[in-house]
């Protein structure tokens, strides 16, 4: 087998316009090249070669692909032969095979997925509902076709069509294209959805992401994990964007497929998105292979900011430079591009700032640095980002900046950051087993979040993930805060299910909320008091008096919460709700 990195090297080196132009007369049209289609013939220039994407497309017969696909379809070559032929033309030597030389055992899955993509693309052109939906999103049919979008109609037409083309049900099942119901019958996985094909780095279709056209849940439905698709190890559009990243010397990371589509239509070639989950370590490593700088262009609402900073920490662990672009209130990248065009998107990217600086801006706007307790809470929010910075120079710069803005000594902050004394610097790992969920204020808040949308939003606004000391509870809180419980790993998912089954019981929600938030706040103040005492012990004599005053202010704040607890505990002893 030919190594993937060699396949990428050959594709990157190939001049797709020059090679296809040897057999097809091409003329420049804007940034593309047009000619008569070599597959269906015709007299008009309906065949486009798009060099910035490294692909070709015919607007009549809808043949499409990269340089390898062209040789396979035009000359009947298999994939390895096509790679070797392109390599010969660009002067790259393909190493001799050293491993098994048999056919790829996953080839039937790739073939089924490619066949399905072609069928879905034809349905898109014929479905009025899908065309109207695209119009509502300001996407033309031609733009949708170039991006490879498709449509899965309702009913069993897909399954019937695939059987008619000779595809076996077991292959369709393994590829994640159909679902087996409890009664043994099979139905298409995607029904009534606009489909975005997902490619691997070799530009092979490995999965789909389906967006429902109207109202309904889930809004997006992805292919399941299969032998050829692992969603945490791929990024949407990376097979195209990797070329743009090298040219632009950056990557733009957005949240969803429509965001990618909008920026692509606006001329940005370096845009990718995760696949329905938070950014994973594997995805960050993929980005690191293609760029040193990532700009996060997520929604600017509270869930979007939480996702932004979580992704930022993941990227910092891979020594990437991370910037954050801000959007106007109520806008996402797709709507901003629709309403104000490419210039507004370009300005947002141009105005991006370092991820730590963006956190500081938000905390300053909320007034955190105006009081001693506020400064401590600000530090709690900034510390995870400092600790995530694996690059030692970046980390030192972050420590200096935060010490300056928070008004503390750099050596004190350095001790706080030291990973040898912290446990939260290690990324969350699933626990091997989970038999009993500990009762705590953290658990109470999660039960409230599961009681309904108003409580979910209220708790998410009142507390931060860093305040959850139990890792499983922290993972569940983050997923609920983002309304994305489907991204939980196996251990956290079991905890989530156990919490759902337990419910609030007879607890009175308002009392439970007040008691839990107060206990978390008291725990935080206790930590601050202990840290302040450590600072006093290490400080020069001339600073001890000032630090002692600050410690007393924290102690007063801590003591002020006790009357509330006494009222609650008294009510509990009397048998009041919430006990």
**In a shared domain, residues 36 and 19:** yes
**In a shared domain, residues 451 and 478:** yes
Q: Is the model's pLDDT at 574 over the cut of 70?
A: no
Domain that holds residue 546: 513-573
**In a shared domain, residues 159 and 221:** yes
Q: Is the model's pLDDT at 429 over the cut of 60?
A: no
pLDDT tens sequence across 376-390: 889 989 999 999 999
**Residue where a domain terminates, one of 184, 201, 229:** 229
pLDDT tens sequence across 121-176: 999 989 999 999 999 999 998 889 888 899 999 999 999 999 999 999 999 999 99
**In a shared domain, residues 521 and 498:** no
Tell me, yes or no, whether 337 lies in a domain.
yes
Identify the pLDDT of residue 43: 76
Can you tell me the distance from the alpha carbon of 425 to that of 414, in angstroms, rounded to the nearest whole number?
14
Can you tell me the distance from the alpha carbon of 230 to that of 177, in angstroms, rounded to the nearest whole number?
15
Identify the pLDDT of residue 460: 82
**Residue where a domain terminates, one of 305, 322, 351:** 351
Q: Are 205 and 110 in contact (CB under 8 A)?
A: yes
pLDDT tens sequence across 308-342: 999 999 999 999 999 999 999 889 999 999 999 99
CB-based contacts of 213, cutoff 8 Å, min separation 6: 129, 130, 133, 192, 193, 194
Tell me, yes or no, whether 560 lies in a domain.
yes
**Residue where a domain terminates, one of 27, 62, 90:** 90
**In a shared domain, residues 29 and 83:** yes
206-221 b/e with 16+ CB inside 10 Å = b? bbbbbbbbeeeeeebb
**In a shared domain, residues 39 and 149:** no
> Given the structure tokens 């308002």, which residue do they identify?
510
Give the count of domains, the chain. Answer: 6
Can you tell me the distance from the alpha carbon of 556 to that of 562, in angstroms, rounded to the nearest whole number?
10
Lowest mean pLDDT, pick from 37-41, 203-207, 398-402, 435-439: 435-439
Reported confidence tier of residue 235, pLDDT bands at 50, 70, 90: very high
**In a shared domain, residues 113 and 187:** yes
Tell me, yes or no, whether 338 lies in a domain.
yes
**In a shared domain, residues 264 and 206:** no
Identify the pLDDT of residue 300: 85
**In a shared domain, residues 225 and 276:** no
Lowest mean pLDDT, pick from 124-133, 209-218, 361-370: 209-218
By C-alpha distance, which of 368, 383, 367, 373 is closest to 561?
373
Tell me, yes or no, whether 579 lies in a domain.
no
- Tokens for 537, please give them: 């012990």
Max CA distance (Å), the chain? 90
**In a shared domain, residues 500 and 530:** no
pLDDT higher at 537 or 47: 47
Tell me, yes or no, whether 99 lies in a domain.
no
Identify the pLDDT of residue 431: 40
CB-based contacts of 331, cutoff 8 Å, min separation 6: 300, 339
Tell me, yes or no, whether 309 lies in a domain.
yes
User: Chain-centre distance of CA 38, in angstroms?
Assistant: 39
Q: What is the mean pLDDT of residues 171-196?
A: 94
Reported confidence tier of residue 468, pLDDT bands at 50, 70, 90: confident
**In a shared domain, residues 415 and 484:** no
Tell me, yes or no, whether 100 lies in a domain.
no
Tell me, yes or no, whether 210 lies in a domain.
yes
Identify the pLDDT of residue 563: 45
């Amino acid at each position: 087998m030919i190594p993937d990195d060699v396949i990428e090297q050959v594709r990157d080196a190939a001049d797709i316009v020059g090679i296809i132009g040897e057999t097809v007369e091409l003329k420049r049209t804007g940034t593309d090249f047009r000619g008569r289609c070599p597959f269906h013939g015709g007299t008009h220039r309906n065949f486009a070669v798009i060099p910035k994407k490294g692909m070709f497309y015919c607007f009549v017969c809808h043949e499409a692909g990269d340089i390898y696909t062209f040789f396979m379809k035009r000359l009947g070559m298999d994939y390895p032969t096509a790679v070797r032929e392109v390599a010969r033309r660009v002067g790259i030597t393909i190493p001799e095979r050293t491993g098994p030389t048999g056919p790829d055992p996953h080839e039937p899955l790739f073939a089924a997925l490619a066949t399905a993509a072609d069928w879905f693309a034809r349905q898109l052109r014929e479905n009025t509902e899908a065309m109207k939906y695209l119009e509502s999103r300001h996407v033309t049919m031609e733009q949708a076709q170039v991006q490879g979008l498709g449509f899965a109609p309702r009913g069993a037409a897909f399954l019937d069509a695939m059987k008619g083309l000779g595809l076996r049900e077991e292959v369709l099942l393994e590829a994640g294209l159909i679902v087996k119901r409890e009664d043994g019958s099979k139905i298409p996985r995607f029904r009534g959805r606009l489909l975005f094909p997902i490619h691997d780095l070799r530009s092979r279709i490995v999965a789909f992401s389906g967006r429902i056209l109207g109202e309904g849940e889930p809004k997006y439905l992805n292919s399941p994990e299969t032998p050829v698709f692992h969603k945490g190890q791929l990024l949407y559009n990376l097979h195209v964007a990797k070329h743009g990243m090298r040219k632009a010397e950056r990557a733009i990371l957005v949240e969803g497929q429509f965001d990618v589509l909008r920026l692509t239509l606006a001329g940005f070639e370096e845009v990718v998105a995760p696949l329905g989950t938070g950014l994973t370590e594997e995805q960050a490593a993929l980005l690191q292979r293609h760029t040193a700088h990532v700009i996060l262009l997520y929604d600017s609402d509270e869930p979007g900011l939480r996702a932004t900073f979580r992704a930022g920490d993941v990227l910092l662990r891979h020594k990437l430079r991370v910037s954050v672009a801000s959007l106007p209130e109520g806008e996402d990248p797709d709507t901003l591009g629709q309403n104000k065009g490419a210039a507004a998107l370009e300005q947002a990217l141009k105005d991006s700032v370092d991820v730590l600086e963006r956190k500081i801006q938000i905390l300053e706007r909320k007034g955190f640095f105006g009081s001693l307790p506020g400064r401590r809470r600000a530090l709690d929010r900034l510390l995870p980002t400092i600790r995530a910075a694996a690059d030692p120079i970046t980390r030192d710069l972050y420590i200096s900046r935060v010490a300056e803005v928070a008004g503390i000594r750099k050596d004190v902050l350095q001790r706080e950051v030291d990973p040898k004394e912290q446990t939260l610097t290690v990324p969350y790992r699933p626990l091997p087993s989970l038999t009993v969920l500990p009762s705590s204020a953290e658990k109470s808040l999660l039960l409230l979040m599961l009681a309904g949308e108003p409580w979910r939003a209220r708790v998410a606004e009142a507390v931060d993930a860093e305040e959850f000391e139990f890792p499983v509870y922290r993972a569940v809180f983050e997923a609920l805060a983002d309304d994305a419980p489907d991204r939980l790993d196996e251990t956290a998912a079991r905890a989530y299910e156990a919490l759902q089954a337990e419910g609030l019981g007879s607890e009175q929600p308002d009392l439970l909320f007040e008691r839990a938030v107060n206990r978390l706040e008291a725990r935080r103040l206790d930590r601050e008091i202990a840290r302040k005492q450590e600072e006093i012990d290490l400080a020069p004599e001339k600073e001890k008096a000032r630090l002692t005053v600050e410690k007393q202010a924290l102690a007063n704040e801590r003591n002020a919460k006790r009357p509330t607890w006494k009222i609650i505990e008294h009510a509990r002893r009397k048998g009041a709700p919430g006990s």
